[in-house]
Structure 1
Amino acid sequence: MLSKKISPYDLSATDCITTEIISAANGKIALKLIDFSADPDASLRFILKHNKTGMQLFPEVSRPDPDTYLLDFSFIEAFYELTGTNFFYLTVETTSNSNVHLYRLCPPSETAGSIKPAVLIEDIYLKDDIKEIQTERIVLLQPAADDSHAFWITLCSRNRFIQVTHICDLRGLSMRGGILKITFDLKPDSLEYVKTIFRFRNKLAEAAIAYDFTTVSTRKHGNMLRIKISLDLHTVTWNGLYWDIYVEVFDPENNRTNRIQITVPTRRRMFMKFLYNGSFHTPDDFYVYPYYTGGTKLALVNRAREQYDGFDIVLKEFIAMFLYNIAKPYWKKKHICLVDEKYSTRAQDNGYYFFKHCMENDEETYLGQKIYYIITKDSPDYDMIRPYKKNVVHFMTIRHMCYILAAELLVSTDARSHIYAQRSRHSIFTRYTKKLPFVFLQHGVTALKRVDFFYGKGKPGSCDLFVVTSEKEKQIVIDNFNYEPDEVINTGFARWDVLKDKSQDSHDILVMPTWRSWLEGASDREFEESDYFRHYAALLNSQRFKDLLEKYDLHANFYLHAIFQAHTESFHIASDRIHLKSFGDTPVNELLMQCKMLITDYSSVSWDVLYQNKPTLFYQFDLDKYNEAHGSYIDMKTDLFGDRAETLDQLLDSLEKTIQNNFRMEPKYEKMQQEYFQFEDHEHSRHICEEIKKWMKRK
């Protein structure tokens, strides 16, 4: 086997050879080339071509008979980047009298849609997979999902393979009296049904809580197995936001047990969108709702009841679609661009400063777009956008819905879903927001938390243009998110246009930790029992911390992440030098500019402080747990631009050292600061507009 690297290629223009898979196992494939006759003097070789890099791999080939080619791909595992957007096309190259011709290998057209993937290699496990149950991955040969009609070789989990090759469809659901009853049809083929599991969605092994459904009945229904299950929701300890439902099946051929999920068919999805609003009221005054994931799989969400859960929103949606469709030419002429921030409730981040720049510099004319800011009527930041009220649209109004239907561009700090109240209940508008061309301004620098599983190309949060702040960050996105270089724009953040050090006369230290996925949606009780709460409560009530503030005449502002703001009142402070800050008290930008230094854990606001040449301390008491759940793109122990502490005493030692150094950054961190920023001209919004303009011309 040899390999070499060439530039990416276009396979769609090559000729096709109809190919039948005879067998596939243990890394070897037996193929029959149908109606193919090469020149007897021609040399022939099979080639794997990587879809992104164009790298070529050449398997060993033998011919057990004239019509059959046996290819050995056992080497391929070593060449796999373990991401779903990397694959290899299988091609054939013939050479005769210096004439080289490349062919695609394609399934017979009449059977292309019914060919199941063939398993080539089994038992692939990642070394860093530390979940309670490790994920087995397999290498598959299957017809491509693009327009090439070629075979490709790809990597996926065995559970995913079982999911796509077996039917498991929802047929009924009810939650009356707190008893969750589900009916689903399973086409098992050679598999045997074992049981159904209700599992808290969490990346931490210690939080892997699961409950077994009671299997009420299983009976034949045509070629399907109709299964009825039930679970008493009163017996569940509700300690998280999302809960998944897994069906366990056993394969006697390989003695393996796998898990698949229940798919919600189209008609059932329509029913859940518009007619079903059943729920279960928990002891923590939360409500459990059934929903379906982006992959149309049945799941449940445990959350507080929200104002957009009612059927009045469904009525508004129908009215908006009617008004849009009867006046579509009018809406299309407006060339609408929508800008928003976190759930359209704020105006203090990159979205607001980008919008403000556009309003004050006539970027609407430059971009050829009518730019509107989406925000709730009761936002505490409403005064920030009041001067531009002609370009403000109120969240979840009929006008807002019409503008989403007509929009040509979305510019946001967060995922597309934040432009609409899609977490409240199922909405038909999901399909429209998913189609919006999207410029992702980001909320923070991508480095300290892995988010490619969501924001990666082709993932639920994918975008068309990805804004970054440095060449280092750009390379992280290219390497891990699968974007092309021209889809990642190094402009810096829009909010940095106004970012300047205002700490000269300040006495403030800012304590601003980030969130934890395993506590998202937690009740006050669950939050207060967590290590996260206990460590920060210990800091805020530390006598030594209070003494340091008193000794050096300082004040500390404690600001919880937006996702945890509901738990601010859980913290009780007995010092007039420590202040709890909530949304609306002071814009985050102001807190970052006024502080003399920052204490955080893994928050990317540390880059905002670094931009101002001010020091940051990293309090990482739960690094192993954080890495298990979130992970990072840099080494926390060697690549941070500030001292890190794992205990309260270490943190307070570093704090006193920083204070005594008059809040100056250490030279080694100053050097790192110089490597991080390309632009420090406070014209970041202008750079973003220039890149959007270039992108629009390329479209």
Structure 2
Amino acid sequence: MRKVVRVLCYLKELCLMAFFKLFGAACRCCSAKYRELWLVCERGNDARDNGYWFYRYLKEKHPEINARYVIETDSADRAKIEALGGMVPRGSFSHYLAYYCADFLIGTHVQPCAPDLILFYHLAGKGIRSRGKQVFLQHGIIKDEMEWLHRKNMYMDLFVCGAKPEYEYIRDTFGYPEHVPQYVGLARFDNLIRAEGKEKMILVMPTWRGSHYPTGEAFRKTAYYEHFQSLLCCKELEQLLEQQDYRLVFYPHIEMQKESRRFESGSDRITIASKETQDVQKLLMDCALLVTDYSSVFFDVAFLRKPVVYYQFDEEEFRKYHYQKGYFDFRRDGFGPVCTTQEALLEALTESFENGMEMQTEYAQRTERFFPLHDGNNCRRTFEAIARLKERNKKHAAESESLSVNL
């Protein structure tokens, strides 16, 4: 029965695709609204990552570009897009139409701006794609092996990289043509540079554990829950926060926040936060120090030259549920100490307080080598990379036309 449903959904999307391709061609001819369109999106329900900051740059610096942004009508970030203009309600008729009309599909996730991510991913696997060139802005810096993003499994026209070693890794191992991966910097880093200071706040932000990790009551028996719940109730940590007049914000990965209600703390200096109440980028900008396990958000904090502490109590188990190790070695390349026990973590926090919450020289030097681009011009470079892609397409089209005439 499920197979029948999938087949019917597949046929439905093929019919919709044929309709919108034909209708879209007519709209591009008759309406400037859909002509030379740059369509931007993140997850479809938010506007606070690389997609938003690049879209804001387009609206403020390049109003001549016909750019629109896809977001759900009930999103908490809707007002941010309405203020800039060009909102496209996710899943609407105009969303489908814009998707098939767009010259560029620009997003933080694969299959950017797709009305149905999973379905269009499978369609793309069969070689059925929209006309738009796909620009992958990313939502973090890649450090692990991600074979599913290799050229043999994924199609992209521009693969934005946020760090030099990341770019070299993708260029050398992912199998894309040389011009596809480009080191231009992540768009959201431009906003990070504008950070005015830091609060007396420690941010604890662990990553998720994969789609097969235990959930519900079984989650309470996991090492993840046991270690972070123990930390949130740790008397030594509470005393340290009191002594230094600091607070701590615990913000699990968005995919783990369905289990957030199982965590608790008796301290009024510790907050268990969620995406409904907090903006991740603001937390990263405001914190004085980040504690994470393996989450790539540590790159954002290191980019700001703020101290990072890694709390990796389950490294072997983590790899069973998550990506395999790539080019990045936490002990060799990381921007802070690696702790495997709560005691070691508390010692690292105490040492950071003693150092005035400044990044140690060794880690600061690693950061400078990792991020040679640190100038607030990432959005501009991204725009220029897309413009070059546009010119390349025009050149190829002209060559193809010339070839057909000669034949």
Class of the TM-score when normalised by the shorter of the 2 chains: 0.7 to 0.9
Structure 2 CA distance, aligned partners of 1:359 and 1:519? 40
Choose the corresponding residue for 2:78, options 382, 387, 390: 382
Q: Which residue of 2 aligns with 1:331?
A: 28
User: CA 1:627–1:541 in structure 2 vs 1: closer, same or farther (change >3 Å)?
Assistant: same
Contact 1:555 1:578 in 2 (8 A): yes
1: CA distance, partners of 2:198 / 2:131 = 48
Within a 5 Å distance, the mapping from 1:75-114 to structure 2 comes to none
- 1:327 Cα deviation (Å)? 5.7
* Counterparts in 2 of 1:555 and 1:386: CA distance versus 1, 3 Å: same
In structure 2, distance between residues paired with 1:385 and 1:414: 19
Instruction: Write out aligned runs for 1:537-552 (5 A).
Output: 537-552=229-244
- Tell me what 2:41 maps to: 340
Give the match for residue 383 of structure 2. Answer: 689
What residue number does 1:444 align with? 140
| 1:670 to 2:364 alignment | yes
Q: Can you list the C-alpha shifts for 1:654-695, whole angstroms capped at 9, x where unaligned?
A: 011101111011111111111012322211101101111112
- How many percent of aligned residue pairs carry the same amino acid? 28
- What is the CA deviation profile of residues 174-206 of structure 1, one whole-angstrom value per residue up to 9, with x for unaligned ones? 7xxxxxxxxxxxxxxxxxxxxxxxxxxxxxxxx
- Offset at 1:537? 1.1
1:31-75 CA-to-partner distances (Å, cap 9, x unmatched) read xxxxxxxxxxxxxxxxxxxxxxxxxxxxxxxxxxxxxxxxxxxxx
> C-alpha separation between the residues in 2 aligned to 1:347 and 1:272?
29
Residue correspondence of structure 1 range 76-475 to structure 2 within 5 A: 173=1, 270-271=7-8, 273=10, 322=19, 325-326=22-23, 328-331=25-28, 334-342=35-43, 344-362=44-62, 364-365=64-65, 370-389=66-85, 391-416=86-111, 419-423=114-118, 436-447=132-143, 449-451=144-146, 453-460=147-154, 462-475=155-168
More helix by share: 2
Q: TM-score, normalised to structure 2's length?
A: 0.87
Q: Based on CA coordinates, which of the two structures has the bigger radius of gyration? A: 1
Query: Kindly tell me: are residues 429 and 470 of structure 1, through their superposed partners in 2, closer, same or farther at Cα, counting changes over 3 Å?
Result: closer
Residues 519 and 527 in structure 1, CA contact (< 8 A), matched pair in contact too: no
The aligned residue for residue 658 of structure 1 is 352
**Alignment CA distance shift 1:339-1:501 (3 Å):** closer
Give 1:478-557 correspondences, 5 Å limit: 478-500=171-193, 502=195, 504=197, 506-519=199-212, 522-557=214-249
The separation in 2 between residues aligned to 1:455 and 1:434, in whole angstroms, is 19
Corresponding residue for residue 638 of structure 1: 332
**Aligned-partner residue type, residue 653 of structure 1:** E
Residue 698 (structure 1) aligned with residue 398 (structure 2): no
Cα distance per residue 1:370-391 (max 9 Å; x no partner) = 21111011111112212123x1
Report the counterpart of residue 396 of structure 2 in structure 1: none
Given that 1:416 and 1:433 are in contact with CA atoms closer than 8 Å, whether structure 2 keeps it comes out as no
Choose which of 253, 261, 264 in structure 2 pairs with 1:569.
261
* Kept in 1: contact 2:40–2:105 (CA 8 A): yes
1:591 corresponds, among 280, 283, 304, to 283
1:486 Cα deviation after fit: 2.0
Deviation at 1:331, TM superposition (A): 3.0
- Count of residues paired in the alignment: 386
CA distance in 2, matches of 1:618, 1:434: 42
Partners of 1:572 and 1:413 lie apart in 2 by: 32
Q: Separation in 2 of the partners of 1:428 and 1:638? A: 41
Q: CA deviation at 1:642?
A: 0.6
Point out which structure has higher relative CO (alpha carbons under 8 A, 6+ apart).
2
Runs of 5+ in structure 2 lacking a partner?
394-407
**What CA distance in whole angstroms lies between the structure 2 residues aligned with 1:524 and 1:499?**
36
The residue identity in structure 2 corresponding to 1:489 is: Q
Q: Which runs of 5+ in 1 are unaligned?
A: 1-172, 175-263, 275-313
> Aligned partners of 1:357, 1:516: CA distance in 2, in Å?
34
Tell me if the contact between 2:108 and 2:139 (Cα under 8 Å) persists in the aligned partners: yes
* SS of aligned partner of 2:249: strand
Structure 1 residues 326 and 440, CA gap change in structure 2 (3 angstroms): closer
* Amino acid corresponding to residue 339 of structure 1 in structure 2: V
Once residues 305 and 71 of structure 2 are traced to their aligned partners in structure 1, the CA distance between those partners, rounded to angstroms, is 33
CA distance in 2, matches of 1:562, 1:435: 32
Equivalent in 305, 308, 314 of residue 616 of structure 1: 308
CA distance in 1, matches of 2:131, 2:16: 21
- CA offset at residue 635 of structure 1? 2.0
- Does the CA contact (< 8 Å) of 1:641 and 1:673 recur in 2? yes
Q: Residue 423 of structure 1: CA displacement?
A: 4.2
The one-letter code sitting in structure 2 at the alignment partner of 1:498 is N
Shift of the 614–644 alpha-carbon distance from structure 1 to 2, 3 Å rule, reads same
Contact persistence 2:294–2:312 (CA under 8 A): yes
TM-score, L = length of structure 1? 0.52
Deviation at 1:643, TM superposition (A): 0.6
- AA at the equivalent of 1:388: L
Give CA-to-partner distance per residue, 1:521-551, whole Å, 9 cap, x none.
x532233332112211111111111111111
The answer on whether the counterparts of 1:321 and 1:402 sit within 8 Å (CA) in structure 2 is no
